[in-house]
Amino acid sequence: MDDQAALSPAIETDGGVWRFPAGAPLRLDSGAVLPELEIGYQTYGRLNESRTNAVLVCHALTGDQYAASTHPITGKPGWWSRVIGPGLPLDPDRYFIICTNVVGGCMGSTGPGSANPKTGEPYGLAFPMITIADMVRAQAMLIEALGIDTLFAVVGGSMGGMQVLQWAADYPEKLFSAVCIAAAARHSAQNIAFHEVGRQAIMADPDWRGGAYQSEGVSPSKGLAVARMAAHITYLSEAALQRKFGRELRKDGLSWGFDADFQVESYLRHQGASFVDRFDANSYLYITRALDYFDLAAGHDGVLAQAFQKARQVRFMVLSFSSDWLYSTAESRDIVRALNAAGCRASFVEIETDKGHDAFFLDEPQLDATLRGFLEATAQARGLS
Amino acid sequence: MSVIREDFREILRLVRPGARVLDVGCGEGELLELLQREKGVDGQGLEISPAGVSACLARGLAVVQGDGDRDLDHFPTRAFDYAILSKTLQQMREPRHVLSELLRIADQAIVSVPNFGHWRMRVSLMTRGRMPETRALPDPWWATANIHLCTLRDFTDLCEDLDLRIDACAALSNGKAARPIDPKRPIENWRSESALFLLSRRAESEPDAVPKDLFGEVALPKAEPDRPKRRARAKA
């Protein structure tokens, strides 16, 4: 491994796009092959001498690699800058933290907006279907290219948590620990249903142009904004919406029209409008489809425990939020049961909060404390100072 | 080193080095940590309170937030060498089911129970005519978490019903060293404040390999097979 490590170029920068040569294509679950794979990534901290302190952070559906750095488009702080940073549970002084844009994404990784080598035009719907396992396979290629044998931890929430589970199933020997937050081992009918609403909203936008909007110089912003608005409701709990907005009006009195009278309407419109600036509609279609196709047990005779059969040495931490109805505590418990049944070392906590699914981005002290406790103890077991 | 609780000391004595241990109701993980340190066990905790779970995690213990009444059913058969249930059987909604689950999950169970047959209880009930409030069970009846109290004799009868073997038993009273006893001797039912049992299944009652469902859970036994036996006994 030392030889390979010596050959791998060390990443001096904090991020960029990793280009794999044509001889290292990404083979997809669908049977298709992505030549000249590119992976957008950011890293924080330094890989230690023994290469034992690498942490892979997996992002959610609409996330990206800018987990702890200013987003290049929105200028906002990274989506997990509450967790990654000096003195925080994922401290770059201690860990080498890697976050990659998923395959199919639109922030540097190969996706439907990338140029199709056959035509030179953006792929659009010619882009092959991708899966959570494909995303993980691409991450594993990058980890290997970086000369990292074993990840100290793979950590993620929501779709990131699904990638964590997929890592445990596909590359257990490369993991020391795994943290799965607010996720599920498969997409439920309700999950699929909400995604279908989003996809139909995009495809109903006349500017979608059968997916070829880029070549035609337009963008299905309205459809994508509606998709985001519908999805955003699923990320919040009813209690959180009520607490935040109630029936509050934006101005005194009703407009007696269809303007955004209510604060909650205005908030959702803002969420939709700002989303289209940073996200690609086709990426949204492909990634939501990857989520819908996700069913970890399906590839293991329908028995989830079998997916974790080889992960007995991995230290698992599963977290859920009490008010998350998108990926509920029951789904996390199913994961924990399967881990127990497989004889894995698993911990599980349900965090009491009314903030819903999005709690994993938000100020949730018990989440921080739990992550910190688990990572600290795991780091000691790994011999990290 | 801090003083070790007497029941912990006794559990420490009973557990084989390097064993796989499930501590049901592990609190902040003191016992599991002790067992890991002293006996090198591979420990797993089950704890209902979030604060307890967080404390366990910070100690580096594997712990699942859950409820002994509800969540034991989801552990696979014979996954552990020992299942420990310390002073909480009497707080379970279904102690009988919990006890049989402990011995499905593990080869041996270490269970401690307060003895309602202790002389202080009997005297208190007889002289005051009220539910006893003693140093072992200090709460008034309307505030106690102990909803299924039993005497030593009740407990050994239940073990008999469930076809469990008592491999060891020690009487425990506050602050005193554990005293090995024969729990079936009537005198012990008078003088033991609480007792700690090491239990195992009798050979013929070993659980069969149970089919797994979608999540690899173990299918639950549909009925409690030895109920009729118990009724017969009650009539006799």
Contact B79, B105 (CB under 8 A): yes
- Cβ of A346 within 8 Å of Cβ of B60? The answer is no
pLDDT higher than threshold 70 for residue B60: yes
Q: Which residues of chain A are within 8 Å of residue B218 when distances are taken between CB atoms?
A: 341
SS3 label, residue A187: coil
Q: What is the pLDDT of residues B120-169, one digit of tens each?
A: 999 999 999 999 988 888 899 999 999 999 999 999 999 999 999 999 99
Q: Report residue A154 CA to chain centroid gap.
A: 12
What is the model's pLDDT at position B58? Answer: 85
Give the residues across from A104 on adjacent strands.
none
Cα-Cα-Cα-Cα dihedral of A121, A139, A305, A349, to 10°?
-110
- Cβ of B54 within 8 Å of Cβ of A370? The answer is yes
Contact B116, B149 (CB under 8 A): yes
Query: Phi/psi at A41 (nearest 5 deg)?
Result: -150, 160
Residues of chain B contacting A, Cβ within 8 Å: 42, 44, 50, 53-54, 56-66, 74-76, 79, 212, 214-218
Percent of chain B's residues with pLDDT above 70 = 85
The DSSP line for A78-138 is PTTTTTBSTTSSB-TTT-EEEEEPPTT-SSSSS-TTSBPTTTSSB-GGGSPP--HHHHHHH
Range B86-109 average pLDDT = 95
Contact B174, B135 (CB under 8 A): yes
Classify domain A2-186+295-382 at the CATH superfamily level: Alpha/Beta hydrolase fold, catalytic domain (3.40.50.1820)
Q: Which of A177, A324, A328, A332 is catalytic?
A: A324
Q: Report the top-level CATH class of A190-290.
A: mainly alpha
Residue boundaries of the structural domains of chain A: 2-186+295-382, 190-290
Residue A187 falls in the annotated catalytic set: no
- Cβ of B50 within 8 Å of Cβ of A366? The answer is yes
Q: Which residues of chain A are within 8 Å of residue B214 when distances are taken between CB atoms?
A: 297, 302-304
Q: Which residues of chain A are within 8 Å of residue B21 when distances are taken between CB atoms?
A: none
Positions of E strands within chain A: 15-19, 26-27, 33-34, 38-44, 54-58, 96-100, 153-157, 177-181, 315-321, 345-351
Q: Which of A180, A329, A334, A337 to mutate to test binding with chain B, by most B CBs within 10 Å of its CB?
A: A337
- Cβ of B215 within 8 Å of Cβ of A305? The answer is yes
A247: tokens are 């029936």
- Cβ of A343 within 8 Å of Cβ of B79? The answer is yes
Q: Which amino acid is at A159?
A: M
Q: Which residues of chain A are within 8 Å of residue B83 when distances are taken between CB atoms?
A: none
Contact A219, A365 (CB under 8 A): no
How distant is the Cα of B107 from the closest Cα of chain A, in angstroms?
15
How distant is the Cα of A352 from the closest Cα of chain B, in angstroms?
9
Mind listing the domains of chain B with CATH numbers? Answer: 6-235 (3.40.50.150)
What is the model's pLDDT at position B176? Answer: 85
Q: Kindly give the confidence (pLDDT) of every residue in chain A, 385 residues in length, as a single tens digit, with 9 standing for 90 and above.
A: 333 333 333 333 478 999 999 899 999 999 999 998 999 999 999 999 999 999 999 999 999 999 999 999 999 999 999 999 999 999 999 999 999 999 999 999 999 999 999 999 999 999 999 999 999 999 999 999 999 999 999 999 999 999 999 999 999 999 999 999 999 999 999 999 999 999 999 999 999 999 999 999 999 999 999 999 999 999 999 999 999 999 999 988 899 999 999 999 999 999 999 999 999 999 999 999 999 999 999 999 999 999 999 999 999 999 999 999 999 999 999 999 999 889 899 999 999 999 999 999 888 888 998 999 999 999 999 999 7
The residue among A69, A63, A145 whose CA lies nearest residue A109 is: A63
CA end-to-end distance (rounded Å), chain A:
23
Helix (H) / strand (E) element for B201: namely strand B194-201
Say which range, A362-371, B41-50, B207-216, has the weakest mean pLDDT: B207-216
Angstrom distance (rounded) from CA A318 to CA B48: 15
Q: Which residues of chain A are within 8 Å of residue B74 when distances are taken between CB atoms?
A: 333, 337, 340-341
What is the model's pLDDT at position B2? Answer: 55
| CB crowding A273-284: b at 16 or more within 10 Å, else e | eebbebbbbbbb
Task: Using CA coordinates, name the residue in chain A closest to B21.
Answer: A345
Average pLDDT, chain B: 86
- Cβ of B57 within 8 Å of Cβ of A370? The answer is yes
Angstrom distance (rounded) from CA A182 to CA A319: 6
What is the model's pLDDT at position B173? Answer: 86
Residues 6+ apart with CB under 8 A from A303: A297, A338, B212, B214, B215, B216
What is the model's pLDDT at position B206? Answer: 54
**Alpha carbon of A10 to those of A14, A18, A37, A47: distances in Å?**
11, 12, 19, 9
Q: Which residues of chain A are within 8 Å of residue B33 when distances are taken between CB atoms?
A: none
- Cβ of B66 within 8 Å of Cβ of A348? The answer is yes
With a threshold of 0.95, does the pTM exceed it?
A: no
Q: Which of A158, A221, A237, A323 is catalytic?
A: A158
Q: Which of A339, A347, A351, A374 to mutate to test binding with chain B, by most B CBs within 10 Å of its CB?
A: A347
Q: Which residues of chain A are within 8 Å of residue B75 when distances are taken between CB atoms?
A: 340-341
What is the model's pLDDT at position B73? Answer: 87
- Cβ of A317 within 8 Å of Cβ of B57? The answer is yes
The more confidently predicted of residues B225 and A151 is A151
Task: Using CA coordinates, name the residue in chain B closest to A306.
Answer: B216
Q: Report residue A158 CA to chain centroid gap.
A: 6
ipTM of the complex: 0.82
Q: Which residues of chain B are within 8 Å of residue A341 when distances are taken between CB atoms?
A: 74-76, 212, 215-218
Residue A158 falls in the annotated catalytic set: yes
- Cβ of B212 within 8 Å of Cβ of A305? The answer is yes
What is the model's pLDDT at position B216? Answer: 46
The more confidently predicted of residues A318 and B174 is A318
Residues of chain A contacting B, Cβ within 8 Å: 297, 302-306, 315, 317, 333-334, 336-338, 340-343, 345-352, 366, 369-370, 372-374, 376-378, 380-381
Give the residues across from B181 on adjacent strands.
none
